[in-house]
A and B are shown apart, each in its own frame.
Chain A
């Protein structure tokens, strides 16, 4: 059997793009085979796409817990391990400990969120992928895998919905 090809349609506005997505789905191309790449974020509601499950908040929470643990170690662990008395204060003073523990929790949260973005998005990645530089100029690009038999129809759908550019998608180095 012939290999499926990847087609690309570039749109200027979100309405024609959403129409095109509907018609492509009617053509039998499933959502899994479609990738929408845009210069500004569009919610999945606007595009009519399935809801993504965002795991990032769990990364952040994990980071916050790790940070909290580090803070507890510094405030409770180190004075108990190596005790030095100062100013008539207790060895593990609760109000000052709260400050440091809070800062470490926040630090953990922040770093984990950033690393989570990198992990989830697969950054950094420079190998060639389907992309068009026009997208950065505010376009919406619909990339989809299409069996060669349906290529004509798919192109017609894109043209009918008002795509600016219709062509076989190229893998460009990023």
Chain B
């Protein structure tokens, strides 16, 4: 064997570490996915039981308690009329940007590494939106009258007020939820058909049969599906941008010092993508371990996600600094009070933690490929990012409201146990939904992976082998 052939073999082996250059028979891929979907061990059921209990206590117990006794059981007060609930709301909307970024933006930019992770992240979007959507109800003083925000003809001749950013919120989130769920469902249909054909268990067969809608894979069906997926991919990106911009305008449209900033739109969207992509990495790391998806989720995916997280850390820092500098340099006197509140006030420890987890740690670690490809390190960094992003929302919502233009009416905010229980309940709901649905539908779109593997070949260029992607469409 010549030196040349040897090195080519090494090069090829190196390339074959990538999923799309390492094809195995489709039967095997499908079997792996079906096994991951149908295997539920004891640890799984214990986790589900604990989560269900937390949801019951938090949402069933604490929320009902709050509805019966009144909002006073939460820690909110005058002038901090919004607290943990709205911070949670904004946080979960931020997490919801995960799926769309991966499955839509990466698809539009033809980033091939998105193929195995689109569904897992799109599921995160749907469940994060469901979790977020509960908070506008939870924080209402009269939750039972929430339906007055729905525009429907009634005998009182009243329509909701479309001047209000809360109405924009409702429409945007509803649109995004529908869009994201349909965008999750459409590429799922061929995989559901596969499960329908090859899943043995009785109730599962019935379920997949119904959900697969009679899919076979004829040319017409593929043409319609692919056109729809392309349309969705392009359409859901502006919807995603608009959703978090509109949520940020809940604050931006007001006269509250610190909130009334025109940069909130881009700032929040960037922060949402930052926190969303970090959440995707967190969830995928856990899913890969617990569902044995090592074939599909490889080093390259976490490497790419890690780089994206670093890039968005830069972007977030840019917007954060632009906002901070503007307030610091020429803001009203009350603006200075708000900056002091962050740097030296009661929220200072939180603020510095946020700077560390959002800027310092990603900048110091994510440039290094070893960190990005080490599951433990990446898990810690991405969890840290989301802790930091939560703190950012908390400080903006609850922190800024403690200071206003009338110092006699400043007030401190301390979250109450009810708010904590409801927060835990909603987080558990998100994880529970994810855990349950991950065992109901195939988590990796095998047809997309197969499509990618068909398109990828190793091509000889000069003395080396190079991966080459064919444009199959």
Min CB gap A18→B, angstroms = 13
- Tell me which residues across on chain A come within 8 A of B151, comparing CB atoms: 74, 78
- Tell me which residues across on chain A come within 8 A of B172, comparing CB atoms: 103
Residue among B174, B198, B214 with the most chain A CB within 10 A? B214
B39 at the interface (CB under 8 A from A): no
Given contacts A78-B159, A89-B163, A93-B163, contact A60 B231 (CB under 8 A): yes
Whether A138 and B214, one on each chain, are in contact in the complex, defined by CB atoms closer than 8 angstroms, is no
Instruction: Provide the bound-state CA to CA distance between A86 and B171, in Å.
Output: 20
Q: Mark A83-110, 1 if CB is under 8 A from B, else 0.
A: 0101101000100110110111011011
Instruction: Provide the bound-state CA to CA distance between A82 and B454, in Å.
Output: 60
The listed residue (A40, A42, A84) touching B161 by CB distance below 8 A is A84
A117 at the interface (CB under 8 A from B): yes
9-residue interface stretch from B120-128, B178-186, B328-336: B178-186
Q: Mark B209-236, 1 if CB is under 8 A from A, else 0.
A: 1101111111111111111100110011
The listed residue (B210, B212, B225) touching A117 by CB distance below 8 A is B225
Whether B162 and A78, one on each chain, are in contact in the complex, defined by CB atoms closer than 8 angstroms, is yes
Residue among A39, A57, A109, A110 with the most chain B CB within 10 A? A110
- Tell me which residues across on chain B come within 8 A of A79, comparing CB atoms: 159, 162
The listed residue (B194, B215, B218, B231) touching A57 by CB distance below 8 A is B231
9-residue interface stretch from B238-246, B318-326, B381-389: B238-246
**B interface majority secondary structure:** helix
Instruction: Provide the bound-state CA to CA distance between A42 and B217, in Å.
Output: 10
- Tell me which residues across on chain B come within 8 A of A165, comparing CB atoms: none
CB-CB nearest in chain A for B159: A78
CB-CB nearest in chain B for A56: B227
- Tell me which residues across on chain A come within 8 A of B186, comparing CB atoms: 114, 117
Instruction: Provide the bound-state CA to CA distance between A124 and B232, in Å.
Output: 20
A120 at the interface (CB under 8 A from B): yes
Given contacts A56-B231, A96-B168, A113-B231, contact A107 B178 (CB under 8 A): yes
A27 at the interface (CB under 8 A from B): no
- Tell me which residues across on chain A come within 8 A of B174, comparing CB atoms: 107
Whether A38 and B235, one on each chain, are in contact in the complex, defined by CB atoms closer than 8 angstroms, is no
Contact size range, B = 35 or more
CB-CB nearest in chain B for A53: B223
Instruction: Provide the bound-state CA to CA distance between A117 and B232, in Å.
Output: 12
Q: Mark B165-207, 1 if CB is under 8 A from A, else 0.
A: 0011001101100110010001000100110111000000000
Whether B451 and A106, one on each chain, are in contact in the complex, defined by CB atoms closer than 8 angstroms, is no
- Tell me which residues across on chain A come within 8 A of B224, comparing CB atoms: 54, 56, 116-117, 120-121
Whether B167 and A100, one on each chain, are in contact in the complex, defined by CB atoms closer than 8 angstroms, is yes
Whether A37 and B162, one on each chain, are in contact in the complex, defined by CB atoms closer than 8 angstroms, is no
A156 at the interface (CB under 8 A from B): no
Instruction: Provide the bound-state CA to CA distance between A39 and B191, in Å.
Output: 9
CB-CB nearest in chain A for B470: A46
The number of residues on chain A lying at the interface, defined by a beta carbon within 8 Å of a beta carbon of chain B, is 63
Instruction: Provide the bound-state CA to CA distance between A123 and B242, in Å.
Output: 31
Whether B450 and A121, one on each chain, are in contact in the complex, defined by CB atoms closer than 8 angstroms, is no
- Tell me which residues across on chain A come within 8 A of B216, comparing CB atoms: 37, 129, 131, 135, 174
* In the complex, chain B residues 96-117 whose Cβ is within 8 Å of any chain A Cβ: none
The listed residue (B168, B197, B218) touching A37 by CB distance below 8 A is B218
A36 at the interface (CB under 8 A from B): yes
- Tell me which residues across on chain A come within 8 A of B179, comparing CB atoms: 106-107, 110
Whether B238 and A114, one on each chain, are in contact in the complex, defined by CB atoms closer than 8 angstroms, is no
A52 at the interface (CB under 8 A from B): yes
Instruction: Provide the bound-state CA to CA distance between A53 and B451, in Å.
Output: 23
A153 at the interface (CB under 8 A from B): no
Residue among A82, A107, A113 with the most chain B CB within 10 A? A113
Whether B197 and A133, one on each chain, are in contact in the complex, defined by CB atoms closer than 8 angstroms, is yes
Instruction: Provide the bound-state CA to CA distance between A9 and B179, in Å.
Output: 38
Add 13 more A-B contacts to A35-B219, A78-B162, A87-B163 (CB < 8 A): A14-B454, A36-B218, A36-B219, A54-B224, A81-B159, A106-B235, A107-B174, A107-B175, A113-B232, A121-B224, A126-B214, A135-B217, A174-B214
Could you list some 27 contacts between A and B, CB below 8 A? A37-B218, A39-B194, A39-B217, A40-B451, A41-B451, A75-B162, A78-B162, A99-B168, A103-B168, A106-B175, A106-B235, A106-B242, A107-B174, A110-B232, A113-B182, A113-B235, A114-B186, A118-B213, A121-B215, A123-B214, A123-B215, A133-B197, A136-B30, A136-B194, A137-B30, A138-B25, A138-B27
What are the 8 closest A-B residue pairs judged by CB atoms, nearest first?
A: A138-B26, A133-B197, A136-B194, A125-B214, A123-B213, A78-B159, A41-B222, A124-B213
